[in-house]
Amino acid sequence: MNKIYLASKSPRRQELLKLMGFEFELLLKEVDESYPKNIPLTEIAPFIAKKKADAFEAKPDGIIITSDTVVLLGDEILEKPQDKNHAFEMLSKLNGKTHQVITGVTLKSETQTFTFSETTEVTFTQLSEEQLWYYILEFQPFDKAGSYGVQDWIGMVGVKRIQGSYTNVMGLPTERLYKELANYR
């Protein structure tokens, strides 16, 4: 298999790749994550994943993996919160409702670039304001789309149902990624 390069600062994505049994090298670069306002909401994550991949030169000895995750509630994208009040506002919107988590992944080699996405539906139970504030203050979910990590406390007590890939909600659809890497040249 080719060498794997993960272009992500996300500790969760790094952990997931390790758990998949892959050794990899990190590539880090700041990339503008803006997107056209007229793009369909379900295409934002794959668009940004590809944009991140485009920021790197292809590696002759391997595959670069880039990824982006968005939380979609109805017709609203919930990105990373700006502060604790913004996190509370987002979690209040998700509270007791079902939303979609969409992760876009791009695989880039010298010969090709391939982008795919996975969608998972997540249903939150109804939590109290005190529980939401406890989560925000104790777990500081400021680097997470939608202001939550499914692997954190809120995922243990507040997620009622997941339809689709659990690891997709963490930021990397591992089962699909494994399959795509096996078929990728």
| Active site (catalytic) residues | 68
CA geometry: angle 155, 142, 88, nearest 5 deg = 70
- pLDDT reported for residue 176: 97
Q: Are 97 and 123 in contact (CB under 8 A)?
A: yes
Q: Which domains does the chain have, with CATH numbers?
A: 3-183 (3.90.950.10)
Record the tokens describing residue 156, joined without a space.
């243990």
Q: Are 103 and 180 in contact (CB under 8 A)?
A: no
CA distances to 79, 94, 139, 149, 164 from 142, rounded to whole Å, are 10, 16, 9, 10, 24
Closest CA to 47 of 122, 91, 88, 104: 104
Q: Please give the average pLDDT of every successive group of 10 residues along the chain, which has 185 residues.
A: 90 96 95 94 97 96 96 95 97 98 97 96 98 97 94 96 97 96 81
- pLDDT reported for residue 184: 79
Q: Are 134 and 127 in contact (CB under 8 A)?
A: no
pTM of the model: 0.94
